[in-house]
Amino acid sequence: MIEAIEKHGLKGVLMGAARILRCHPFVKGGEDPVPDHFSLKRNHQFKNK
């Protein structure tokens, strides 16, 4: 979340919150790095690597 805030400011807080909300026992997991452009969607490029 800190990296998202450093990269995107206040929007990074929203990104971090969205990432935390996606974290639950039924998700497959995988890497979810902070994207270069603001988005609340998961970065599918790195999913399950």
Element (H, E) at 12: helix 10-22
Tell me the C-alpha to C-alpha distance, in Å, between residue 6 and each of 12, 34, 35, 36, 48. 7, 10, 12, 11, 25
* pLDDT tens digits, one per residue of 3-36: 989 999 999 999 889 888 888 888 777 777 888 8
CA distances in angstroms from 26 to 22, 23, 29, listed in the order given: 10, 8, 9
Instruction: State both tokens at 24.
Output: 């639950």
Claim: this prediction has a pTM higher than 0.85: no
Contact (Cβ atoms closer than 8 angstroms) between residue 34 and residue 11: no
